[in-house]
């Protein structure tokens, strides 16, 4: 990807999360999963922690309570709106061991061996080059340091998995969640990046959604497409796009039950050590 496309992609991410920044802290699900990510591989007193895609700083603040005054936590994000919320909370808390920085997670300007722990909660699906980024983060870890991130299987979010299946029939590749689509794929990613002591934990969740909601979730060329740029539908003819949408709606009707369409939101908790 050239630099112009990369900047355009980063702008999409920033705008998406700027728009969510005012109510991001209201998501109990995000907070619960973020807390578990840290709890299963917690930092020690005095450790240095990097929180990738920190958002409003939930992981960062929790990690700061664990590393103590002798440790430090750096939270990075592309969204100025999210960082504004995080810095407002930081001012209110009066902590001196936390810092929030506007930065690209795939190209961080820190020296090698800077951190004991790196966390990335609910954001890895945005990464354009997973192996290269995992190698980059590994370089930032100290020997023995650990990485923990959330990953989504390719069955998560029914509108994503069904859209991918339908588009594939027309030769269109929609990659969202594919790099981490299974436990085996997650393991291979970490192995390719040089991690050891790999530990991947699966937590199954899901709920039913109304058929109308499932149908309306069809992706459009104006939508963002995490993990790739531009949106693959921008290269598809209107006729093919319309047919694919009809196929998608038919598939949702087939999946519909008396309770609605089952929406799988299973998550992987992925850990590796340098």
Cβ–Cβ < 8 Å for 75, 34: no
Residue 243 is predicted with a pLDDT of: 97
Long-range contact pairs involving 218-225 (C-beta distance under 8 Å, separation at least 24):
218/159, 218/163, 218/245, 218/248, 218/249, 219/159, 219/163, 219/174, 224/12, 224/13, 224/16, 225/174, 225/175, 225/176
Residue 244 is predicted with a pLDDT of: 97
Closest to 157 measured CA to CA, from 180, 135, 190, 185: 180
Stretches in the chain below the pLDDT threshold 50? none
pLDDT tens per residue across span 89-111? 999 999 999 999 999 999 999 99
Cβ–Cβ < 8 Å for 269, 40: yes
pTM of the model: 0.95
Residue 163 is predicted with a pLDDT of: 97
Residue 157 is predicted with a pLDDT of: 96
pLDDT tens per residue across span 26-79? 888 889 999 999 999 999 999 999 999 999 999 999 999 999 999 999 999 999
Residue 27 is predicted with a pLDDT of: 81
Residue 2 is predicted with a pLDDT of: 87
């Amino acid at each position: 990807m050239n630099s112009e496309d990369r900047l355009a992609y980063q702008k999409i991410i920033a705008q998406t999360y700027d728009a969510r920044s005012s109510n991001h802290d209201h998501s109990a699900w995000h907070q619960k999963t973020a807390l578990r990510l840290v709890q299963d591989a917690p930092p020690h007193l005095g450790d240095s922690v990097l929180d990738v895609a920190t958002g409003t700083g939930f992981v960062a603040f929790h990690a700061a309570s664990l590393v103590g005054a002798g440790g430090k936590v750096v939270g990075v994000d592309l969204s100025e709106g999210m960082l504004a919320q995080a810095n407002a909370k930081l001012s209110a808390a009066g902590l001196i061991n936390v810092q929030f920085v506007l930065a690209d997670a795939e190209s961080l300007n820190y020296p090698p061996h800077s951190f004991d722990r790196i966390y990335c909660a609910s954001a890895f699906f945005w990464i354009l080059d997973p192996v290269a980024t995992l190698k980059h983060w590994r370089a930032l870890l100290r020997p023995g340091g650990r990485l923990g991130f959330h990953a989504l299987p390719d069955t998560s979010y029914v509108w994503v998995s069904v859209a991918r299946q339908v588009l594939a029939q027309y030769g269109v590749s929609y990659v969202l969640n594919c790099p981490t689509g299974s436990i085996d794929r997650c393991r291979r990613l970490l192995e390719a990046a040089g991690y050891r002591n790999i530990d991947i934990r699966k937590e199954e969740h899901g709920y039913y959604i109304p058929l109308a909601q499932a149908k309306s979730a069809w992706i459009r060329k104006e939508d963002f497409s995490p993990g790739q740029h531009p949106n693959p539908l921008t290269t598809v003819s209107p006729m093919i796009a319309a047919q694919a949408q009809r196929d998608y709606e038919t598939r949702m009707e087939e999946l519909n039950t008396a309770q609605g369409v089952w929406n799988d939101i299973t998550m992987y908790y992925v850990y590796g050590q340098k």
